[in-house]
A and B are shown apart, each in its own frame.
Chain A
Amino acid sequence: MHPITTVHYMALSAALLLIGTVGVLTRRNIVVVLMSIELILNAVNINLVAFSHAFGADHVHGQVFAIFVIADAVAETAVALGILIALFRNKETVLADEIDLLKW
């Protein structure tokens, strides 16, 4: 059997990114759309950590970048869920395609 190389991690990360993209583009429930964004960010992190590992076991710059991505994900989720609560209070819906106030 082949040993696991960086390419395997790249393929896994690409697959996870595509799954997340499908979720963002097709789901109507905003909560699930936000979860799909988490999947996409995790795909990015797998990529960063895999390259960091490929450049040597004592190479941590990719991991530091992954920490920054995680911090961004936390900030984004907190703000997005706050917006979602405000939206639900005003519009009584969490379906993305029913919120079309700016649509002509």
Chain B
Amino acid sequence: MLIDTVFFYFFALMTLAGGVLTITRRSAVHSAISLVVSLLGVAGLYLMQKAEFLFAVQIILYVGGIMVLFLFVIMLVNLDEAAKARQFNGQWLIALAAVAAVGAVGGWFLYHGRGAFRIAEPAYRAIAPGTAGNTERVADSLFQDYLLPFEIVSVLLLVAVVGSVIMAKKRI
């Protein structure tokens, strides 16, 4: 149990520190690298919760796919001017105050409602040896219970691909 605690706090620190660096760095490339750290921390948290398939998806898709997309766009778009300009807009103080208020309310609810999460806790149990692995169970659920949403997602991705190509074209 102790090793679990240590790993949780390690990955949590990675996630939060990466997130804070992402939104405070001046250079967009530094922000992207910090975001990679944050996403890897989230992947570690997935692994701790026995979601091995999501762990792989997170690393391949987010760290490998989306971040490369971001870095490509950072190269295509000239960000030197933007890096010299002011980084935060005029409403940052109001935004910070509003977010702090929301955080205070959310923290209050989490602190006082932490007993309510216990209904689910007794369900912790080890998987019996010989049963299907995580990936197999995710696939079963995806292709049996969620088949229609899965097909709709494929249409959504097709629309997104066509849309982004049209958007990035010089002349339509």
Known: A31-B73, A74-B61, A78-B164. A56 touches B1 (CB 8 A): no
A85 to B81 alpha-carbon distance, docked (Å): 16
Q: How many residues of B contact A (CB 8 A)?
A: 92
Interface size class of A (residues with CB under 8 A): 35 or more
A49 to B51 alpha-carbon distance, docked (Å): 8
Question: Once the chains bind, are B164 and A53 in contact (CB under 8 Å)?
Answer: no
Partner of B99, one of A11, A16, A21, A81: A21
Question: Once the chains bind, are B95 and A25 in contact (CB under 8 Å)?
Answer: yes
**Prevailing SS type, chain A contact patch:** helix
Q: What B residues does A9 contact at CB under 8 A? A: 45, 49
Question: Once the chains bind, are B123 and A55 in contact (CB under 8 Å)?
Answer: yes
Question: Once the chains bind, are B131 and A58 in contact (CB under 8 Å)?
Answer: yes
Question: Once the chains bind, are B167 and A35 in contact (CB under 8 Å)?
Answer: no
Question: Once the chains bind, are A39 and B35 in contact (CB under 8 Å)?
Answer: yes
Q: Give B contacts to A, CB under 8 Å.
A: 1-2, 4-5, 8, 12, 15-16, 19-20, 22-23, 25, 28, 31-32, 35, 38-39, 42, 45-46, 49-51, 53-54, 57-58, 61-62, 65-66, 69-70, 73-74, 76-79, 81-82, 85-92, 95-96, 98-99, 102-103, 106-107, 110, 114, 117-118, 120-121, 123-127, 131, 134, 137-138, 141-142, 145-146, 149, 153, 156-157, 159-161, 163-168, 170
The list of the 3 closest CB pairs from A to B, nearest first, reads A82-B167, A23-B23, A75-B160
